[in-house]
Amino acid sequence: MKPLPAIAQTKKKDYGIFFTPDWVVDFMVELIAGGLLKKNEISILEPACGGAQFLIGIKRKNPFLFKKAKKVGVEINKEIIRHIEYLTSHIDLVHADYLLWDTKLRFDLIIGNPPYGIPSLSDHYSLKVDNATKQKYRNIYTTWYGKYNLYGAFIEKSINLLKENGQLIFIVPATFMFLDEFKKLRSFLARHGKTQIIYLGPDVFKPEADVATVVLNFKKTKAMSHRFILSEYKEGKVIQIRKENRWQGEIILFSTTFSKKLDDLCSYRLGDVYDIKISPRTPEIKHHPHVKKEKLSGHLPILNGSNLKCNHILYESLTGYWIAKEKITTLRNFFTKPHIVVGLGFREDGRVGAAYDARLYPWMGDVYHLLKKNSILTLNYDLDDEEVVEYLSTNVVKRYIKDIFREVTYHLSITQLKLLPLPSKKEWEIIKKEWL
């Protein structure tokens, strides 16, 4: 294929475009269900088609299917459509925003690589979408939640455009497996058919994008089977990791012999014992009436993730923000209580950054705060906060996180923290004896 014209090249990031390696295209084409291949008439859609890689991939891998199929490609970028028209004389190209595309067409197969990114005009995000368009998306898509990634809406739209027993094959980031923003999407998938997730790992789109990806292989059915399969593509083979026949859209985790052993040993989860709060974000700190940008008498520095090490806190100013000690409660009430602090990101050696803040300093940014719950369950919990910090900072927890979350995220969410197994005092002694 000829390179894209300059204007299209400059728009790649704005539209969330990442071109798919041919081996991935071929692998996805090979996943097309046998029942669809046998149909006399079949309709195929490639959303956000770009260079129509997947339709052309079908032509390359299965020319008979390509020849008999009605083929549609939808693309928002007119320059890209003009560039590929000479390649796609047998494809109906539609110039439209796929998420706002109004059509009565329904498809047997939808295949492709939807755009990835948080839609926004903010400089923090690369996928440029104006606020009015973003609000339209919010109004249309039932799975939209929080800082939703555009690929989630593409999945919902595509499933709605599938015929009964139709198939969706997308390559997407693996983040929808367990992040809170995708809880509605997971439930949507469980309600509408059978889901297979095939993990490809973090290297598919490097160096353009550092993102762990999966192939979502979905069959739309009326039967409420809720079947879910998690697999991994490794050395040319698809290896099944786990299977659920009664999946309701719960978080999807990897598992290993080690992670199962730690799960079985520990009687608690971190979320059973602790409420987890997050620090004030930078905009709140900047506009707070009592926050100063200079050190004054009686003021404490506001700390952030850079101050947090494994089982250690640097009590010095790294942010350049200060607040009077008596005004700390205007930021957060829990800053006045000794408690555990945990960094969102991992430390340089891959361990969790956790420490016990006994000096009651204020925090900002990417730091969580663990506050022990006042419940019957916590009354029986016998590991103290300092021991919990010691446990969280171990290579045992580092290994567990790597085993169940793989390379999907580079920082911990509240949901992920809540899921971490937490030992009692007796169980902690076993861990230290057997694994440390």
Tell me the CA distances in angstroms from 11 to 101, 124, 166, 206, one per residue in order: 20, 16, 32, 19
Q: Which amino acid is at 193?
A: G
Tokens of 182: 């995708």
Identify residue 255 by its one-letter amino acid code.
S
Chain center to CA of 31 = 23
CA separation for the pair 169, 46 (Å, rounded): 10
Between the two ends of the chain, the Cα-to-Cα distance in Å is 55
DSSP state at residue 20: P
Question: By the 8 A CB rule, do 293 and 321 touch?
Answer: yes
Q: How far apart are CA 129 and CA 133, in angstroms?
A: 7
Going by C-beta distance under 8 Å and a sequence separation of 6 or more, which residues neighbour residue 433?
Answer: none
Question: Is the backbone of residue 94 left (phi > 0), alpha (psi -120 to 50) or beta?
Answer: beta
Best CA proximity match to 171, nearest among 127, 219, 114, 126: 114
Say how far apart CA 413 and CA 235 lie, in whole Å: 31
The CA–CA distances, whole Å, from 96 to 126, 140, 169 equal 20, 16, 21
Beta strands of 65-161 (E only): which ranges? 69-75, 92-95, 107-112
Q: Omega of the bond prior to 207 within 30 degrees of 0, cis?
A: yes
Catalytic residues: 113-114, 116, 205
Paired strand residues for 411 = 345
Give the residue carrying structure tokens 């032509």: 59
Q: Pairing relation of β-strands 42-46 and 69-75?
A: parallel
What is the rounded CA–CA span in Å between residue 62 and residue 57?
Answer: 8
Rounded Cα–Cα distance for residues 351 and 353 (Å): 6
